[in-house]
């Protein structure tokens, strides 16, 4: 029994449903193998198996090589589960998402926005200065926006991501 990591399972289930997951499980157990063998094993149409295999391929969870029968000249595709690549892709995607959050945190930290207490406007520092720090709608003094909640929220997201729970 080849272990399929939980995050790979989740991705496949989300993108392809139970059918995709069942096919992946069998591929992991039987592979390297062909669509015909999988179709027999699962009592499913070869076309269904093939469609799912290509989707797994696009998700970088499965890969194939072409095998030519020298005598008959037939070409068969031999499929295998490629856990390393799937795992790497997921880690890269997670790292990219974490990097985006880190950048967003920096942007929020650096941003100096001024808001009307009645939420009429959000102004950049220069705009607020032009308006002498008054709301153009109601004339009340604008205040430096409190970003602590937004920052706490972003940091929480980042932490969850770094622990691999997101």
Helices (H), 31-132: 35-42, 46-58, 83-110, 125-130
Tell me the site size for Zn ion, rule CB under 5 A.
6
Task: Report whether 20 contacts 59 (CB < 8 A).
Answer: no
Closest CA relative to residue 115, chosen from 107, 127, 105:
127
Tokens for 34, please give them. 């062909």
Rounded least distance, CB 140 to Zn ion, Å: 5
Q: Is residue 134 part of the contact set for Zn ion (CB under 5 A)? A: no
Rounded least distance, CB 127 to Zn ion, Å: 14
Nearest 10 degrees: CA dihedral of 136, 139, 145, 150?
-70
List 38, 135, 154, 161, residue binding Zn ion (CB under 5 A): 135
Q: Which is nearer to Zn ion, 138 or 152 (CB)?
A: 138
List 29, 103, 118, 159, residue binding Zn ion (CB under 5 A): 118
Q: Is residue 136 part of the contact set for Zn ion (CB under 5 A)? A: no
Q: Is residue 138 part of the contact set for Zn ion (CB under 5 A)? A: yes
Q: Which is nearer to Zn ion, 102 or 122 (CB)?
A: 122
Q: Is residue 116 part of the contact set for Zn ion (CB under 5 A)? A: yes
Q: Which is nearer to Zn ion, 43 or 132 (CB)?
A: 132
Estimate the crossing angle of helix 83-110 against helix 6-30, to 10 degrees: 170
**What does residue 77 show for φ and ψ, rounded to 5 degrees?**
-100, 125
Residues that bind Zn ion (CB under 5 A): 116, 118, 120, 135, 137-138
């Amino acid at each position: 029994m080849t272990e399929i990591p939980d995050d790979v399972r989740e991705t496949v289930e989300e993108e392809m449903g139970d059918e995709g997951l069942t096919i992946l499980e069998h591929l992991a157990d039987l592979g390297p193998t062909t669509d015909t063998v999988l179709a027999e094993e699962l009592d499913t149409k070869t076309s269904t198996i093939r469609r799912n295999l290509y989707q797994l391929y696009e998700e970088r969870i499965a890969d194939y090589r072409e095998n030519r029968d020298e005598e008959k000249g037939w070409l068969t595709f031999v499929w295998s589960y490629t856990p390393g690549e799937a795992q790497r892709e997921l880690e890269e995607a997670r790292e990219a998402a974490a990097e985006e959050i880190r950048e967003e945190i920096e942007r929020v930290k650096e941003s100096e926005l001024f808001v009307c207490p009645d939420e009429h406007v959000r102004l950049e520092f220069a705009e607020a200065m032009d308006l002498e720090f008054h709301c153009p709608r109601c004339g009340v003094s604008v205040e430096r926006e409190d970003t602590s909640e937004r920052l706490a929220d972003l940091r929480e997201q980042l932490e969850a991501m770094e622990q691999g729970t997101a």
